[in-house]
Structure 1
C-alpha cells in the first residue's frame, strides 16, 4: 500500500488502489503552495486516503478562478500532503503532492498524463511530449 509523510514525519498517510491520474499543475496557487514553479500530483479518491499518524491541519483559500482549495498539511513542519477543492471536477478527490510519497521508486514511475495551467508554466520549462496540455483546467 503506497504511503507518504510530511518532512518531520509527524503526519503520515497511506492510500489504496491506483491513482486516477497524475497531473502537473502550473497555476499560481500551486506555485504559492509549493514555493516552486508547479506541483506534481496524484489524483486519488479522498475516501481511499487514510492518515496513519497524526491529523492534518487545514487551510481553505480561493484559487485564482474563485474555487476554494483546502490544503491538508502538517501543523508542525507545514508540509502540504494533499489538496481538495470545491470545483466539480475535483469532487471527492484528493490531489496528493507526489513529493510526499515515501517510496522514491513510486515517484520516479509516476509519469504525468496531464499538464494543467500551462499559460503560467515558466517559459524556460518545456512542455511534456505526449501529455494532455491545458491552458487552465
Structure 2
C-alpha cells in the first residue's frame, strides 16, 4: 500500500487521511497501552504529524502520563470513544496513529515490541523483531528496521 491512507472512528463521526508513508509500526506492552486497547498491547504507527489531515469531525483530546515518565496527548472520538492518535511529548514532529482505525489493515506488519517486561505471560515475542524491555531512548533503529522491511 502507498499513501494516502484513510481511516476513522467506529461511529464514522471522524474521518482522516495520512498523506505520507509510515516511519515505523510497533506493539507496546506497557500498562497504559493495555488499558487503552482493553487488550494485551497497543499498536502504534508513527507518521509525520503534519501528514495527518482530519477530513470530518473534531477529535477530543486529553493528556496523560506515560510509563516512560513523559506526557502523551491522546486524541479520540468524543462520540464513540475510539482512540485515534497519540502525540508524544518526546517528539513534536511525530504522531502515533492507532493503526486499527485504518480502513485497510491488511498490510500492517509491526517490526518491534516495547515494554516487553510488562507483556502478558502468554504473549510470544518474535525474536526477529526489535524487542525492548522498556521505552527505547532512541527510536532510530525502529525507523530503520521498518524501512528495510517495507
Counterparts of 1:1-137 in structure 2 under 5 Å? 1-87=4-90, 90-103=91-104, 107-137=105-135
Aligned-partner Cα distance in 2 for 1:65–1:131? 21
Question: Cα offset for 1:132?
Answer: 0.3
TM-score normalised per structure 2:
0.84
Q: CA RMSD in A?
A: 1.0
Runs of at least 4 residues off by over 3 Å: none
Q: Given the two structures, how large is their TM-score scaled by the length of structure 1? A: 0.92
- CA separation in 2, counterparts of 1:128 and 1:91? 30
Whole-Å Cα distance in 2 between the matches of residues 29 and 92 of structure 1? 22
Count of residue pairs the alignment pairs up? 132
Q: How far 1:92 moved relative to its partner?
A: 1.4
The answer (yes or no) to whether the contact 2:20–2:48 under 8 Å persists in 1 is: no
Distance 1:67 1:99 in 2: 24
